[in-house]
């Protein structure tokens, strides 16, 4: 469908809608319309790249990753030369048998997020926890990098 606007000599705008579909718009509607939703609604069960919040507090950095539906054992967290990698792989097989049919579905999903840590992180004290769909990674700062409380300096 195309929208054409004509401007007459008096300056008023008149909008005309022409509803004559072209062959290419029919083709686009077919390919971009219902066909992909039919396939994606049944077969797109993979994990998208999870959202991550990273915050800095006085004595650490905290990474929060929203990954509901997984188990603690699904995750792999690696640290290699100040590069933190968080990944998960899930393989799923389902079979439903009825007297008239058998339905089998299988899927494989994975993701990997990688972060470069600042050198102020004490890598020997990093810990992680997973609770109610949120993976938390606590990255403590080295003692010399921790923020010191504000203080007043007396003039002598």
How many structural domains comprise the chain? 2
Structure tokens, 60: 């650490």
Please give the residue range of the domain that contains residue 37. Answer: 2-43
154 inside domain: no
Same domain, 56 and 39: no
Given a cut of 80, whether residue 54 has pLDDT beyond it is: yes
Question: Does pLDDT of 45 surpass 90?
Answer: no
Threshold 0.75, pTM exceeds: no
Q: 86-102 burial, b if ≥16 CB within 10 A, otherwise e?
A: bebebeeeeeeeeeeee
Q: Is the separation of the CB atoms in 139 and 108 below 8 Å?
A: no
**CA distances, 44 to each of 48, 93, 108 (Å):** 10, 14, 10
Assess whether 61 and 120 both reside in one domain.
Answer: yes
Query: Domain with 80 in it: what CATH number?
Result: 2.60.40.790
What would the pLDDT profile of 115-132 be if each residue is shown by its tens digit?
999 999 999 999 999 999
């Amino acid at each position: 469908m195309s929208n054409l606007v004509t401007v007459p000599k008096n300056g008023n705008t008149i909008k005309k809608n022409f509803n004559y579909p072209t062959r290419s718009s029919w083709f686009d509607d077919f390919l971009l319309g219902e066909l992909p939703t039919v396939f994606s609604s049944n077969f797109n069960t993979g994990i998208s790249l999870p959202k991550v919040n990273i915050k800095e507090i006085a004595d650490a950095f905290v990474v929060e990753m929203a990954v509901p539906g997984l188990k603690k054992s699904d995750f792999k967290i690696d640290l290699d030369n100040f590069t933190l990698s968080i990944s998960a792989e899930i393989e799923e097989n389902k079979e439903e048998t009825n007297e008239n049919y058998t339905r089998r579905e299988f899927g494989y999903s994975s993701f990997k997020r990688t972060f470069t840590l600042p050198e102020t992180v004490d890598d020997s004290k990093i810990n992680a926890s997973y609770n109610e769909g949120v993976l938390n990674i606590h990255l403590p700062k080295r003692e010399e990098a921790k923020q010191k409380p504000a203080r007043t300096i007396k003039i002598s």
